[in-house]
Each structure stands twice: as structure tokens, then as C-alpha cells.
Amino acid sequence: MTKYYNPKRTRNIFNPDSKVPFALSRSKIDLFLKCPRCFYMDRRLGIGQPPGFPFSLNSAVDKLLKKEFDFHRGKGSAHPLMKAYGLDAVPYQSDKMDEWRDALGGGIRFLHPTTNLLITGGIDDVWVNPAGELIIVDYKATSKDGEVSLDAEWQIGYKRQMEIYQWLFRQNGFKVNKTGFFVYCNGDTDKEAFDAKLEFDIKLLPYDGNDSWVEQSIMDAHKCLMNANLPESSIECDFCAYRKAAKEIKE
């Protein structure tokens, strides 16, 4: 049976009178920062943005990377990529790894006591250095000319993603190194022939996170949800611009 987009959800809707913790994922916090109106319509009114198509190739890269790093996790050894970049670390061994990776199941969680929001996030990987500090790792896949970097304006979402993960692990009592890493895979399209094989250049990009913004953003998101009025949209929100244009045509 084909699964269609449901424009009016009846589950996972915030109730300001409820005493039950309300789950708020890392991606929904990012949605709030992008556009409070879209966030409110989604979490308070049950009207979510239409989902995008799944990136099957990215999912395949993600799965293969996890297999590679899990192999070294089991042996307690460093992955060759770590050695190539001179990083003194190994994949972190924990019986919670599968749980932390399960975004649909909540991933790593922390109940924010002030707001009663259950903050969740599904990570890609965690490494550990000799000092016992956890290193949060995220996998990315793309295909572009030139070197991959974290310099594009739209990649602020990647950085916030890393910082929320770091914040979540700190709230769970772990010692977390400020430097996280992106394992960035860039598909090579310069080959003379495809030969039914796509090769990737893999870079390890460090990023020094600063999670000082997370606490206030959670408070602001909660305040938004508690409000009975629809908030203003972001001037940069494509979804709101589309809804406005469509409404003007209809009227």
C-alpha cells in the first residue's frame, strides 16, 4: 500500500495542559530556529512540512561506514582514517550504541527539567580519546567538485546538529571533547569510466562545537509551544513563502 503524506496529524502534538514529557527531537529544534511558525504548526497543530524523498545513496554510505567503524570498535583498534589524520582515538564501546543511533526510537535522550521536554537525537558514531573524552562524529555524503568543507552558510544546520549531540551527551554525564568530527564522503565523478562503481574521497573534518545556545533555544521553543497564537514566520522560510503565495492566488 502506498503511504501518502498526512497533512493533518493527530499524534505527537504538544498539549500545554499535559504533565507528560513531550519528545522534541534535534531536528525539530533546528526547525524552530529556521522558522517558528513551521515549528508551531508541526508540533502544536499537527501540520508538518511535506517530507522529502529518502536519500538512498546517503543511507548506503552511512550503513557501510557504521560497519567499518563497528569492526574496529569490536577490536578496540583505531580506524585507518583516524591514523591518517593523526587522531589518537578509537571507536567508543558501549552497549547503548545501537540505542543512541536509533533516531526513530529516540536515540540519546535527556528530560529537560524546566520545560518537561524530552530532548532526543540519533547520532552516527562516538569515539573516545585516551583522556576518556567522548568525540561526537557525524557522517555526511555528497558529490561536488573541489574539496568538501563546512564553510557554506546552509551548513549551520550541520554545526547545530553536532552541538546538540554534544550537549545531550554532557547532560547524560559524559565528558565530551569540544572537537567533533564530520566523516565527509565526496563522490568522485572525474573517473574515465563508471564501471558500475562509485568511488568516494573521504575527509575527516574537525569542528569545535559551542553548545551554549542549546539551553536558551529549548526554553524559547517551549515558550513558542505554550503560546495560543501562531508565531510570525521566518522571512527566509520557503514553505511560508509558498503558503502565502498560494493563499494570495486563491483569494
Residue 59's CATH number: 3.90.320
pLDDT number for residue 150: 83
Is 71 contained in some domain? Answer: yes
pLDDT number for residue 141: 85
The low-confidence residues of the chain, meaning pLDDT below 50, are: 1
Report the number of distinct structural domains present in the chain: 1
Is 247 contained in some domain? Answer: no
State residue 91 phi and psi, 5-degree precision: -60, 135
- What whole-number distance in Å separates Cα of residue 225 and Cα of residue 37? 10
pTM of the complete model: 0.91
C-alpha cell at 138: 557525524
Is 210 contained in some domain? Answer: yes
Is 54 contained in some domain? Answer: yes
Is 202 contained in some domain? Answer: yes
Q: Which of 75, 175, 67 is nearest to 125 (CA)?
A: 67
Is 237 contained in some domain? Answer: no
In this predicted model, what pLDDT tens digit does every residue of 93-121 receive, in sequence order? 999 999 999 998 999 999 999 999 999 99
| Rg of the chain (C-alpha set) | 20
Segments forming the whole domain that contains residue 29: 22-227
Is 7 contained in some domain? Answer: no
Is 236 contained in some domain? Answer: no
How deeply is 8 buried, as exposed, middle or buried, from its count of CB atoms within 10 A (0-12, 13-18, 19+)?
exposed
CA atoms within 13 A on the CB side of 91: 23
pLDDT number for residue 1: 46
